[in-house]
């Protein structure tokens, strides 16, 4: 999840608006987004949204933050096309607010001058964003690496970054995803050699799963298929839609006759097939998960089919991807990932790439962004070794500059909101806390009826349990729990000022303790008080 606000006395802009992927699948959660109430309370609204590239962790929250934007959304052509698709999916009219930029133009927003500089990443049209402010120049690197592959590397962009560095950079906000990895991140050419070898030696069909937005990798797979005499098919709505968009814009080229319909993929006798499909993270509704479960309506894995995982496993998804590979193995598939062959290289720079970016920009300060805290800390250490002052910040930290110094101001309270599996309902943190508690300790429902004349509960309350631990409970003394709750409720009702709502608030601590003694842990308690 990536979102950074840049604020002066006159102007406030956002750089990126991404979603995150929490390991909360068991609680009905799909993704997380920044809490809009906290952002609105701090900033009010923004003059513009600037986007570095089209990956979901940088554009996925765009539909949800549109209400916070007073101005347009700027990005390169492919990025904005992907954003437009996402906005349309949510029924949002773009209304001319999507403003395409090129890497040889600049724009002015209040007292900020903005420039987009191309960088190499796993999706085309990726950029760094240069922000010239009244106190100095800030550079947000976006996601980047320095790939020596001539198809993607741009000497012009390296020269431009060097020029910006010579002009003076106050602070660089730099991608830290691979800051713990030594050396330089590998090239797509290395992956191509491995994929060509696997396709040439595969005895039957080849299935390759990767991220739907990894346009460079998809193009590489198309080229590999063409060279090794295989037809190409695409499986999964995200993959198909992104390929169609990228092909229309000229970012993907499919040789005539190479792309085949699903009917060809269904043919078990057709050995010369390479199918590119979604689901590399074990997503339960993705194409690969349905194929692995033998539940896909058109495709079935056969013995000797080859399945290649050409994507990294996002931390937290390891269990899901391992289960997916087990399911595929049971169907007889030959499975390859980076543990066996070099079938994926990262789109993020390793230590040598990060040092090279620092040497080009020569910033006074470096603020590590986009990575786990250990990567941020490692990047800060690299900066210090190379003579750059690190500013190590956490989510919500306010990094302040004037013309003479930099410092961390009072942090801004930031929180997460969550989206359900339909990506339609925003779920707050307290709901997740309740779901965790129910999952861990179960639920106890206490139903009781108050006699309005006597203001007492004449009948023992009815107890309903779901998911409580029977191993820990004093099951032989269930009646004792019912009686104890009965006495507790009537004792609370003795105070004639108590209304039912006040009664619940009064008894809840004692009710929780009674349940804890009985079950060995405290389930979520839902008291239901009825009046006859």
DSSP assignment of 418-431: EEETTS--EE-HHH
Residues 229 and 326 in one domain: yes
Structure tokens at 264: 């060809």
Residue with the bigger pLDDT between 499 and 531: it is 531
Residues 219 and 278 in one domain: yes
What would the pLDDT profile of 95-127 be if each residue is shown by its tens digit? 889 999 988 778 999 999 999 999 999 999 999
Per DSSP, the chain holds a count of helices (H) and strands (E) of 16, 25
Q: What are phi and psi of 252, to 5 degrees?
A: -130, 135
If pLDDT is split at 50, 70 and 90, which confidence band does 16 have? very high
| Residue 478, pLDDT above cutoff 60 | no
**Domain of 320?**
188-336
Percent of the chain with pLDDT over 90: 59
| CA-to-CA separations, 362 to 128, 355, 356, in angstroms, rounded | 15, 10, 10
Q: What is the mean pLDDT of residues 61-69?
A: 92
Residues 234 and 96 in one domain: no
Residues 66 and 12 in one domain: yes
Q: How far apart are CA 98 and CA 73, in angstroms?
A: 5
Q: What is the pLDDT of residue 532?
A: 67
Position 436 in a domain = no
Position 437 in a domain = no
pTM: predicted TM-score of the whole model, two decimal places: 0.84
List all residues 6 or more positions away from 222 whose beta carbon is below 8 Å from its beta carbon: 232, 252, 253, 254, 255, 258, 276
Residues 141 and 211 in one domain: no
Output Rg (C-alpha) for the chain, integer angstroms: 28
Structure tokens at 509: 């601590």
Q: What H or E segment, with its residue span, contains residue 161?
A: helix 155-167
3-state secondary structure 281-315: CCCCCCHHHHHHCCCCCCCCCCCCCEEEECCCCCC
List all residues 6 or more positions away from 472 whose beta carbon is below 8 Å from its beta carbon: 519, 520, 521
Q: State the DSSP code for 477.
A: G
Ramachandran bin of 267, using left for φ above 0, alpha for ψ from -120 to 50, beta for the remaining angles: beta
CATH number (domain holding residue 487) = 3.10.20.580
Q: Which residues pair with 12 in a beta bridge?
A: 7
* Best CA proximity match to 59, nearest among 96, 24, 85, 92: 85
Residues 200 and 330 in one domain: yes
| Residue 27, pLDDT above cutoff 80 | no
CATH number (domain holding residue 164) = 3.60.15.10
Position 434 in a domain = no
Residues 80 and 7 in one domain: yes
Q: How far apart are CA 277 and CA 296, in angstroms?
A: 12
Q: What is the pLDDT of residue 499?
A: 65
What would the pLDDT profile of 218-265 be if each residue is shown by its tens digit? 999 999 999 999 999 999 989 999 999 999 999 999 999 999 887 777
Q: What is the pLDDT of residue 466?
A: 87
| Residue 376, pLDDT above cutoff 90 | yes
Q: How far apart are CA 59 and CA 80, in angstroms?
A: 9
Q: What H or E segment, with its residue span, contains residue 376?
A: helix 373-385
Number of domains in the chain: 4
Q: What is the mean pLDDT of residues 129-140?
A: 97
List all residues 6 or more positions away from 285 whose beta carbon is below 8 Å from its beta carbon: none
Is residue 169 within 8 Å of residue 363, measured between CB atoms? Answer: yes
Which of 375, 395, 428 is at the close of a domain? 428
CATH number (domain holding residue 276) = 3.40.50.10710
Residues 21 and 78 in one domain: yes
User: What does the chain come to in residues?
Assistant: 532
Which of 316, 336, 356 is at the close of a domain? 336
Q: How far apart are CA 143 and CA 59, in angstroms?
A: 13
Position 503 in a domain = yes
What would the pLDDT profile of 31-46 be if each residue is shown by its tens digit? 788 888 889 999 999 9
Position 341 in a domain = no
Q: What is the pLDDT of residue 23?
A: 60
If pLDDT is split at 50, 70 and 90, which confidence band does 455 have? confident
Q: What H or E segment, with its residue span, contains residue 378?
A: helix 373-385
Which of 290, 317, 336 is at the close of a domain? 336
Position 258 in a domain = yes
* Best CA proximity match to 347, nearest among 50, 131, 146, 99: 146
Q: How far apart are CA 496 and CA 173, in angstroms?
A: 62
Residues 12 and 69 in one domain: yes
Sheet with 416-420: list strands edge to edge. Answer: 29-34, 416-420, 426-427
Residue with the bigger pLDDT between 94 and 308: it is 308
List all residues 6 or more positions away from 346 whose beta carbon is below 8 Å from its beta carbon: 122, 145, 177, 178, 181, 185, 186, 312
Is residue 254 within 8 Å of residue 230, measured between CB atoms? Answer: no
Residues 108 and 192 in one domain: no
Q: What is the mean pLDDT of residues 162-177?
A: 97
Residues 107 and 92 in one domain: no
Cβ density class 327-336: b for 16+ within 10 Å, e for less: bbeebebbbb
Position 272 in a domain = yes
| Residue 173, pLDDT above cutoff 90 | yes
Q: State the DSSP code for 461.
A: P
288-297, 323-332, 445-454, 465-474: lowest mean pLDDT where? 465-474
Position 360 in a domain = yes
Q: Which residues pair with 448 in a beta bridge?
A: 529
Residues 205 and 286 in one domain: yes
Is residue 220 within 8 Å of residue 311, measured between CB atoms? Answer: no
> How many CB atoms within 10 Å of residue 245?
18
Query: What positions carry a catalytic annotation?
Result: 175, 348
Q: What is the mean pLDDT of residues 388-417?
A: 92
Q: What is the pLDDT of residue 487?
A: 85
Q: What is the pLDDT of residue 166?
A: 97
Q: How far apart are CA 141 and CA 311, in angstroms?
A: 22
The SS3 assignment for 498 reads coil
Percent of the chain with pLDDT over 70: 92
DSSP letters along 83-136, please?
A: HHHHHHHTT---TT-EEE--TT-EEEETTEEEEEEE-B-SSTT-EEEEEEETTE
């Amino acid at each position: 999840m990536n979102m950074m606000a840049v604020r002066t006395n006159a102007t406030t802009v956002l750089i990126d608006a991404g979603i995150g992927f929490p390991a909360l699948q068991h609680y009905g959660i799909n993704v997380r987004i920044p809490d809009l109430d906290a952002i609105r309370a701090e900033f009010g609204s923004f003059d513009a949204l600037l986007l570095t590239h089209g990956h979901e962790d940088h554009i996925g929250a765009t539909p949800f933050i549109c209400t916070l934007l007073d101005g347009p959304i700027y990005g390169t052509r492919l990025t904005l096309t992907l954003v437009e698709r996402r906005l349309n999916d949510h029924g949002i009219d773009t209304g001319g607010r999507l403003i395409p930029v090129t890497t040889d133009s600049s724009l002015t927003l209040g007292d900020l001058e903005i420039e987009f500089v191309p960088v190499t990443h796993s999706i085309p049209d990726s950029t760094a964003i240069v922000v010239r402010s009244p106190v100095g120049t800030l550079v947000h690197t976006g996601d980047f690496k320095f790939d020596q592959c001539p198809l993607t590397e741009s000497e012009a962009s390296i020269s431009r970054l060097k020029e910006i560095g010579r002009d003076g950079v106050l602070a660089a906000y730099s991608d830290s995803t691979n800051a713990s990895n030594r050396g330089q991140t590998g090239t797509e050419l290395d992956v191509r050699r491995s994929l060509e070898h696997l396709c040439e030696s595969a005895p039957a069909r080849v299935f390759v799963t990767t991220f739907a937005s990894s346009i460079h990798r998809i193009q590489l797979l198309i080229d590999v298929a063409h060279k090794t005499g295989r037809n190409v098919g695409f499986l999964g709505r995200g993959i198909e839609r992104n390929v169609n968009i990228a092909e229309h814009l000229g970012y993907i080229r499919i040789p005539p006759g190479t792309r085949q319909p699903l009917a060809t993929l269904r043919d078990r006798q057709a050995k010369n097939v390479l199918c590119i499909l979604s689901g590399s993270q074990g997503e339960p509704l993705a194409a690969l998960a349905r194929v692995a479960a033998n539940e896909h309506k058109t495709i079935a894995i056969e013995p000797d089919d080859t399945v290649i995982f050409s994507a990294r496993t996002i931390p937290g998804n390891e269990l899901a991807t391992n289960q997916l590979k087990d399911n595929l193995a049971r169907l007889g598939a030959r499975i390859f990932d980076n543990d066996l062959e070099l079938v994926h290289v990262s789109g993020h720079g390793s230590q040598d790439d990060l040092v090279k970016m620092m040497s080009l920009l020569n910033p006074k300060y470096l603020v590590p962004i986009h990575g786990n805290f250990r990567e941020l800390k490692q990047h800060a250490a690299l900066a210090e070794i190379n003579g750059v002052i690190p500013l190590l910040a956490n989510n919500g930290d306010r990094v302040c500059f004037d013309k003479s110094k930099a410092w961390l101001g009072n942090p801004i309270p930031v929180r997460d909101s969550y989206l359900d599996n339909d990506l339609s309902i925003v779920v707050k943190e307290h709901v997740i806390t309740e779901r965790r508690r129910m999952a861990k300790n179960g639920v106890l429902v206490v139903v009781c009826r108050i006699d309005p004349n006597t203001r007492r509960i004449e009948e023992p309350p009815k107890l309903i349990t779901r998911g409580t631990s029977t191993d820990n409970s004093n099951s032989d003394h269930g009646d004792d729990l019912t009686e104890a709750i009965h006495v507790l409720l009537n004792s609370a009702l003795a105070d004639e000022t108590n209304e039912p709502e006040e009664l619940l608030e009064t008894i809840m601590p004692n009710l929780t303790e009674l349940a804890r003694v009985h079950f060995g842990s405290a389930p979520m308690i839902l008291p239901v008080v009825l009046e006859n």
